[in-house]
């Protein structure tokens, strides 16, 4: 399979991990050679309630027996999408009462940016340096890494950047600004938490100048930080929130939510301000509804904070400089990028799945399914510490 994977499927890097997947369940991915791999990555935070959760699989099966795609987004009332958006509205704070369902995180960001420009009549969008919001042209325009964006220019216009957590930069948000867009916790940058009421201060500045605040919850959302949405840890409510990844429980989905007043603008001037064929697809919405029900009806959110403590307690080694993040959105910061590489590749050999972060090369992501057990956490942490000891020993011998 690996040969055909490399030959026929377009690749994103010359050296993919290329595990040959047979099936997956709970915290484990089983490869075609029968080996079980403990998954500390969860499809990059997407498999929020573990692989092939029975509640999600049965929701998908039940919906598949009834109907699949019947019409483009927004024309017909379909129970899974209606129930999903209603339940989201019950869990999102006021005034975030209406949700537009799309197909991916990056499309949620595109929709949020369009809504902000439409609502304010302004064009400037301010993003944070080292942010990651997706890879379509609009989302890519919010990235300040020249080497990653240069080949794709021109991107969309009137984007400026501020430094995350730098209060002085808030002066750059003015009456020309349509929206400020931030990840609640900066992911690719190394799981950087907002400090010193930063997000509240951004919101206040936005309110002062009439700009909107968009928070990207695509990674922290859906229980990963101990709350359903990461921003609930920081005592503020954004004007627009972008959702994705863990929302689908392993199926592709994105969404953006706002007040009725804001969202209704997409119906007019122009009519159909955002269009998507498959947004709100009944199969995907049924999976997302089951995921949301599972997260909100169980104690998975509280558990994620207890599980964070276990990770922090059992991941102690001199090569680990720091553990960043919250709940089950954690990043090990190692002494160097080389050590991070070695750890990830050696862990693969020992059937523990770890992965990199996009921009912080010294980081190793720990974003397991929220359903991971204490025993699995201890097993994985033991493997990590053993590998770090081996790396340390090798370094001393060199």
Of residues 50 and 111, the one with the C-beta less far from ligand PLP: 111
**H-helix segments, the chain:** 2-8, 42-45, 54-66, 79-91, 105-120, 137-140, 146-149, 198-209, 260-263, 282-297, 300-314, 337-349, 374-397
CB of 224 to ligand PLP, least distance (A): 11
Least distance in angstroms from the C-beta of 230 to ligand PLP? 10
Task: Report the residue number, 117 or 133, with the smaller CB distance to ligand PLP.
Answer: 133
Choice between 111 and 254, CB closer to ligand PLP = 254
C-beta separation of 384 from 315 below 8 A: yes
Q: Smaller CB distance to ligand PLP: residue 128 or 319?
A: 128
Q: What CA–CA distance (Å, rounded) separates 215 from 184?
A: 6
Burial string for 275-292 (b: 16+ CB within 10 Å, else e) reads: ebeebbbbbbbbbbbbbb
Helix orientation angle between 282-297 and 54-66, rounded to the nearest 10 degrees: 150
Q: Which residue is nearest to ligand PLP (CB)?
A: 105
Residue 375 beta carbon to ligand PLP: minimum distance, rounded to whole angstroms = 28
Q: Work out how close the CB of 104 gets to ligand PLP at its nearest, in angstroms, rounded to a whole number.
A: 4
Nearer to ligand PLP, 109 or 320 (CB): 109
User: Could you list the residues that contact ligand PLP (CB under 6 A)?
Assistant: 44, 104-106, 109, 132-134, 183, 187, 216, 218-219, 244, 254
Least Å distance, CB 45 to ligand PLP, is 7
Half-sphere exposure at residue 46, Cβ-oriented, CA atoms within 13 angstroms: 14
Task: Residue 330: name the closest of 275, 377, 269, 394 by CA.
Answer: 377
What minimum distance in Å lies between the beta carbon of 111 and ligand PLP? 12
Q: Among residues 109 and 366, whose Cβ is nearest to ligand PLP?
A: 109
């Amino acid at each position: 399979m690996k040969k055909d994977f490399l030959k026929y499927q377009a690749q994103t890097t010359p050296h993919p991990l290329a595990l040959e997947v047979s099936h997956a369940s709970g915290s484990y991915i089983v490869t075609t050679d029968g080996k079980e791999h403990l998954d500390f990555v969860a499809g990059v935070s997407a498999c929020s309630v573990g692989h092939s959760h029975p509640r999600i699989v049965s929701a998908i099966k039940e919906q598949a027996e009834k109907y699949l795609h019947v019409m483009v987004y927004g024309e017909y009332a379909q129970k899974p999408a209606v129930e999903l958006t209603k339940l989201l509205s019950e869990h999102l704070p006021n005034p975030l009462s209406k949700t537009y369902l799309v197909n991916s995180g990056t499309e949620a960001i595109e929709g949020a940016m369009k809504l902000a420009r439409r609502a304010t009549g302004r064009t400037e969008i301010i993003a944070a340096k080292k942010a990651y919001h997706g890879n379509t042209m609009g989302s890519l325009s919010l990235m300040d890494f020249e080497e990653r964006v240069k080949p794709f220019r021109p991107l969309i216009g009137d984007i400026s950047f501020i430094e995350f957590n730098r209060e002085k930069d808030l002066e750059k948000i003015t009456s020309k600004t349509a929206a400020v867009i931030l990840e609640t916790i900066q992911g690719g940058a190394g799981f950087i938490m907002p400090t010193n009421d930063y997000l509240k201060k951004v919101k206040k500045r936005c309110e002062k100048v009439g700009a909107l605040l968009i928070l990207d919850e695509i990674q922290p959302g859906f229980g990963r930080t101990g709350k359903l949405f990461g921003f609930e840890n920081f005592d503020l409510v954004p004007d627009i929130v972008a959702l994705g990844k863990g929302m689908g429980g392993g199926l592709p989905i994105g969404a953006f939510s706002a007040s009725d007043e804001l969202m209704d603008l997409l119906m007019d001037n122009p009519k159909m301000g955002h269009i998507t064929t498959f947004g709100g697809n009944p199969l995907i919405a049924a999976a997302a509804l089951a995921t949301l029900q599972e997260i909100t009806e169980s104690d998975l959110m509280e558990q994620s904070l207890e599980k964070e403590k276990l990770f922090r307690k059992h991941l102690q080694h001199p090569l680990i400089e720091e553990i960043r993040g919250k709940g089950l959105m954690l990043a090990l910061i190692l002494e160097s990028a080389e050590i991070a590489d070695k750890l990830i590749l050696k862990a693969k050999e020992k059937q523990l799945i770890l992965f990199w972060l996009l921009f912080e090369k010294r980081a190793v992501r720990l974003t397991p399914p929220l359903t991971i057990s204490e025993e699995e956490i201890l097993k994985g942490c033991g493997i990590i510490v053993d590998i770090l000891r081996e790396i340390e020993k090798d370094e001393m011998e060199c």
